[in-house]
A and B are shown apart, each in its own frame.
Chain A
């Protein structure tokens, strides 16, 4: 049975990745599961300088999902490279560094600095966080700007460059094309969907940021549809994510067009979720006599 996949030059032993922001810097989870078994670990979104994030009132549970407005709190690229990366290098898995900047220059600089560090195998560029101010959000919603910022990061790195798309757009296909035109080797689909919740007793928003990003099984059908649209629009490999809880959910994304999957909110519900999802994928392959997972990508029968 072949589980290995190639995501725009990033070779993984299996298609299960942990999603950025839901698995810390990886090392926090070593007591709960064998990190060597995961295809890749995507670390929390990194920026040039440490970021404090939003004020409390950062998460709120909603039916089959959760809203978050963490605000990209992180320890910064330098601290990550110095303190976390040496720990991560001990594991036989691939490390994807998720990053963001506030300007095109910052994106390029962040990409360059991460590329210079030993032990990072690919970069995932976040242009799609719903918790940032309006100007920033344009990176992920205005195709012309998307292409420009991706091109700038592309020039700054030799590593496989994955661009993470926002679902908060009219046409995910147009955004996918723009990212590929800018030089993306692969696409992550999707980031969280903008949402909100209100405490009706006090009339106050549940999140200090008022709006946040919805994740978890509640968004799975939307994410699946966006993976499908993206698959039809571009040739580069897709990492599908959004509410994946089981091996069956992962298979659904692969059939829709994903070459790999990322596990996000499920890690909070079960820190060993990614291992169980991998097991579920193998069970499905055995049951359907699929020898190579790659043959299932985009295998939807319409």
Chain B
């Protein structure tokens, strides 16, 4: 098994004016990936394109297991085209060969039988929790989007949606829905609640301040260079000192992170 491999684009589908879904098939068998882990992607041959220079980190949104057509399976990434690198990826035609490193980092920890899991996603953060959504079928999913157009389809009969403009679900923050759900759940359940969340930094800070009655794990994003723990660039301040998002994370316990002002 190899964590340094090439993969070819199978589909590159525009979802709205910013989001796109990129499906690639690796040219070798790859390692098993846990929800919350990520891959670093570059377009073109290594060393050939020097601007943008570094690889870009993306969570694995889904993995389709090997079959006759794709003997090494299919990796799917959901990407928000925010800058230079992501806009290049968005325009790449089917068949383009990408250089990839991964899976990297530590995913979401396993959930014990006597624990209740809730999943929360904000915006493109849905990418990182889609795997969980599939694995823990039917677990409540709280999903916040800017508006209807940005919502990624996900099969979950237990989904609650909120949008900034009210065009789908509740108008406002998805965290209000999450908080309400927890207090309802607490009327009949006193055991452990776990929340696995992925979204923007502001969402995590808000969750930290809300002091939710649950064990919250979040997937962090910081600029990265190597992705494997050697450049020491993606440091984050935790209660036990500096840790590396790429190696010690990207999933951290919310209360271990020093959120600052």
Residues of chain A touching chain B, judged by Cβ–Cβ distance below 8 Å, are 21-24, 28-29, 31-32, 44, 52-53, 55-56, 58-61, 63-66, 68, 70, 73, 216-217, 245-246, 265-273, 276
Give the complex CA separation of A32 and B46 in angstroms: 14
Which one of B52, B225, B237, B242 contacts A268 once the chains associate, using CB atoms below 8 Å?
A: B225
Q: Which residues of B contact A (CB under 8 A)?
A: 3-4, 42, 46-47, 50-55, 99, 101, 222-237, 241-242
Question: Are B46 and A273 touching (Cβ within 8 A)?
Answer: yes
Q: Residues of A contacting B242 with CB < 8 Å?
A: 52-53, 56, 73
Q: A59-B223, A61-B53, A270-B47 are in contact. Are A73 and B232 (CB under 8 A)?
A: yes
Q: Can you offer 13 A-B residue contacts whose CB atoms are under 8 A? A: A28-B230, A32-B4, A56-B237, A59-B233, A60-B223, A65-B53, A66-B54, A68-B233, A245-B47, A268-B55, A268-B227, A271-B4, A272-B46
A58 to B232 CA separation, bound complex (whole angstroms): 8
Q: Could you tell me if A272 and B4 are in contact, using CB atoms closer than 8 angstroms?
A: yes
Residue picked from A31, A65, A70, A268, most chain B C-beta under 10 Å: A268
Contact of A265 among B53, B222, B227, B228 (CB under 8 A): B53
Cβ distance A31 to chain B, nearest Cβ, rounded Å:
6
Decide if the interface of chain A is mainly helix, strand, loop or mixed.
loop
Cβ-defined contact, B53 with A56, below 8 A: no
Cα–Cα, bound, A268→B230 (Å)? 9
Extra inter-chain contacts (14) besides given A22-B226, A61-B223, A268-B225, CB under 8 Å? A24-B230, A29-B228, A56-B235, A58-B232, A59-B224, A66-B54, A70-B233, A266-B47, A268-B55, A268-B227, A270-B46, A271-B101, A272-B4, A276-B47
C-alpha gap A52/B235 in the complex (Å): 11
Q: Return the contact of B231 from the options A32, A217, A268, A273 (Cβ within 8 A).
A: A268
- In the assembled complex, which residues on chain A have CB atoms less than 8 Å from the CB atom of B228? 24, 28-29, 271
Contacts of A24 in B (CB 8 A): 228-230
CB A160 to nearest CB in B, in angstroms, measures 25
A70 x B231 contact (CB < 8 A): yes
Contact present for B46 and A269 (CB under 8 Å): yes
Chain A residues within an 8 Å CB radius of B101 = 271
Contact B232 A61 (CB under 8 A): no
A66 touches B229 (CB 8 A): no
Residue of A with least CB distance to B99: A270
Contact A28–B47 (Cβ < 8 Å) = no
The CA-CA distance from A146 to B242 in the complex, in Å, is 32
Taken together as a complex, chains A and B put the C-alpha atoms of A58 and B47 apart, in Å, by 23
Residues from chain A with a CB closer than 8 A to the CB of B237 are: 55-56
Chain A hits for B52, CB < 8 A: 61
| A269 touching B231, Cβ below 8 Å | no
Q: Are B42 and A269 in contact (CB under 8 A)?
A: yes
Could you tell me the distance between the alpha carbons of A268 and B46 in the complex, rounded to whole angstroms? Answer: 10
Across the two chains, which residue of chain A brings its CB closest to B223? A59
Partner of B225, one of A29, A52, A64, A66: A66
Given contacts A269-B42, A272-B4, A276-B47, contact A28 B229 (CB under 8 A): yes
B-chain residues with CB within 8 Å of residue A70 when the two chains form the complex? 231-233
Say how far B49's CB is from chain A's closest CB, in angstroms.
9
Centre residue among A29, A271, A273 by max chain B CB count within 10 A: A271
Contacts of A73 in B (CB 8 A): 232, 235, 242
